[in-house]
Structure 1
Amino acid sequence: MTRPTPRAELLFGEADATPMSTDPTTVKPWSEARACLRTAPKALLSTVRPDGRPHAMPVMPVWADEAPCFATRPASRKGRNLAHNGNCVLTVTGPELDLVLEGVAVLVRDPAQQREVADAFLAKYQWGFALHDGSVHDDSLPGSPEYAFYRVTPLRAYGYGSDGLTATRWRF
């Protein structure tokens, strides 16, 4: 599915930019943020505990269905948090861009989309997942533990250039 390109804009204006750039030519295109997400070997995922406290853990992101996706065990803290509240933040550091993506993580239930995510994990990390009647498993581990795939729908994102002086906000 093709998603509309988000609107990119300077994060800071003249009144609050010091020392950040206010030059509109420094706005990064979404394609750079997408490339950062696609190639990152890991990301930090921040979720919300049922009592409102934050929780952050590393995940291995993949790009599928035109969005970042990740896997977790349903009984893990992040899995339980997401079952209660899908709001999350993915943070990725790349050579040209540091990216903070705010969004909503949704469980991938459609078998075709599960296959796409599983294929992305195999291609990027050589991590094979087996799909059994709508559930996701790692058959290479004892007991074939169950996993869940999540797709993050971005709401807004912030990119900071490697120069430390440029910042872009994307609104979806």
Structure 2
Amino acid sequence: MPAPTPVAELLFSDADATPMSTDATTVKPWAQARACLQRAPKAWLSTVRPDGRPHAMPLMPVWADESVCFTTRPGSRKGRNLAHSGHCVLTVAGPDLDLVLEGTAVPVLDPARQQEVTDAFLTKYGWSLSLRGGRIHDDGLPGSPEYGFYRITPLRAYGYGSDGLTATRWRF
């Protein structure tokens, strides 16, 4: 099922007295943001610790299950944070667009979706992960550590053009 197209709009209005463009023709299409997410070799994920403090770490994103997905070890700080709260922010710097994606990270548990994410990691990074009994493992590492897959359900996103003057907000 294709994801719904988000509403794209200018982030700033004339009343904001900002140097950012208020020209509606500069609104970026979601397809441009999606392409930026698909191409990005690295992104930064910010999660929330149980005590409310933020935590940010780099990760390797893939596009699968019609959304941006990633993997982490369940026992990592990021994994423990996500077990407590899925609220997160993903940031990506692209050649023509910088993105901030606010949303909720949810575990990918369906075996067909897990296979799709596994295939995406192999295609994009050459990282071979194996699925056994609904769990994801890296058999190339000692002990075949376990990983978890997550997909981000976006709530809103912000895109900033490389010109430094254009900004778009997408509401989902």
TM-score range, shorter chain: over 0.9
Please show how residues 22-33 of structure 1 align to structure 2 within 5 Å. 22-33=22-33
SS of the residue corresponding to residue 105 of structure 1 reads strand
Name the structure 1 match of 2:76: 76
Structure 2 segments unaligned to the other structure (5+ residues): none
Tell me the residue number matched to 1:7: 7
Quote the Cα distance in structure 2 between the aligned partners of 1:17 and 1:132. Answer: 56
Cα drift, residue 49 of structure 1: 0.1
**How many residues in Structure 1 have an aligned counterpart in Structure 2?**
172
Q: Distance in 2 between matches of 1:18 and 1:52?
A: 31
Between 10-19 and 161-170, the greater mean CA deviation after superposition:
10-19
Alpha-carbon separation, structure 2, partners of 1:170 and 1:88: 16
Q: Is structure 2 residue 152 aligned with structure 1 residue 157?
A: no
TM-score in terms of structure 1 length: 0.99
- Shift in Å, 1:170: 0.0
Task: Give the aligned residue type for 1:74.
Answer: P
CA distance in 1, matches of 2:16, 2:76: 41
Q: Secondary structure at the match of 1:109?
A: coil
Matches within 5 A, 1:27-66: 27-66=27-66
Aligned residue identity for 1:98? D
TM-score (normalizing by structure 2): 0.99
Shift of 1:17: 4.3
1:118-160 superposed Cα distances (whole Å, 9 cap, x missing partner): 0000000000100000000000101000000000000000000
State how far apart, in whole Å, the 1-side matches of 2:128 and 2:46 are: 25
Cα distance in structure 1, aligned partners of 2:163 and 2:147? 38
Tell me, in whole angstroms, the C-alpha distance in 2 between the residues paired with 1:19 and 1:104.
Answer: 31
CA distance in 2, matches of 1:75, 1:18: 43
